[in-house]
């Protein structure tokens, strides 16, 4: 287990950097996790993070990449929805990077 400090409080992360307690997530913690993921957050990053979080809390599970691309296309258009675009913002992709920064649980089968 590893941890990050946020406002003097230690927040537990798994060995792979996933948040142990989803209730501890907030935007400031997302920024700390993003640094670990080598991501500098912009408004476009936040659009993906917020869409991923909305899907999770509406559906009770993380969104698979294909379905997520369709959701992004419907809301933001084709130029902001394909995997190339998402990997351009999150070098490790939706599942390994964006969901981690969004404070979502680690999907089964994801290292």
Instruction: Report if residue 46 sits inside a domain.
Output: yes
Number of domains making up the chain: 1
**pLDDT at 7 (0 to 100):** 63
Instruction: Report if residue 91 sits inside a domain.
Output: yes
What pLDDT digit, counting tens, does each position of 31-72 carry?
Answer: 989 998 999 999 999 999 999 999 999 999 999 999 999 999
**pLDDT at 78 (0 to 100):** 94
Domain that holds residue 82: 2-101
CB 64 within 8 A of CB 51: no
Instruction: Report if residue 111 sits inside a domain.
Output: no
CATH of the domain at 29: 1.10.10.370
What pLDDT digit, counting tens, does each position of 75-91 carry?
Answer: 999 999 998 999 999 99
Instruction: Report if residue 6 sits inside a domain.
Output: yes
**pLDDT at 2 (0 to 100):** 66
Section 17-37 average pLDDT: 91
Q: Which residues are catalytic?
A: 110
Q: How far is CA 7 from CA 18, 66, 93, 109, in A?
A: 19, 36, 28, 32
Q: How far is CA 90 from CA 10, 29, 45, 58, in A?
A: 25, 17, 8, 23
- Does the pLDDT at position 27 exceed 80? yes
């Amino acid at each position: 287990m590893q941890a990050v400090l946020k406002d003097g409080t230690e927040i537990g992360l798994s060995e792979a950097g996933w948040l142990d307690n989803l209730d501890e997530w907030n935007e400031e913690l997302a920024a700390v996790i993003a640094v670990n993921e080598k991501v500098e957050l912009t408004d476009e990053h936040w659009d993906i993070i917020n869409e991923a979080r909305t899907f999770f809390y509406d559906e009770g599970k993380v969104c698979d990449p294909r379905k997520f691309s369709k959701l992004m296309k419907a809301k933001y258009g084709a130029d902001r929805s394909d995997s190339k675009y998402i990997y351009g913002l999150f070098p490790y992709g939706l599942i390994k990077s964006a969901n981690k920064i969004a404070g979502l649980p680690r999907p089964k089968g994801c290292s």
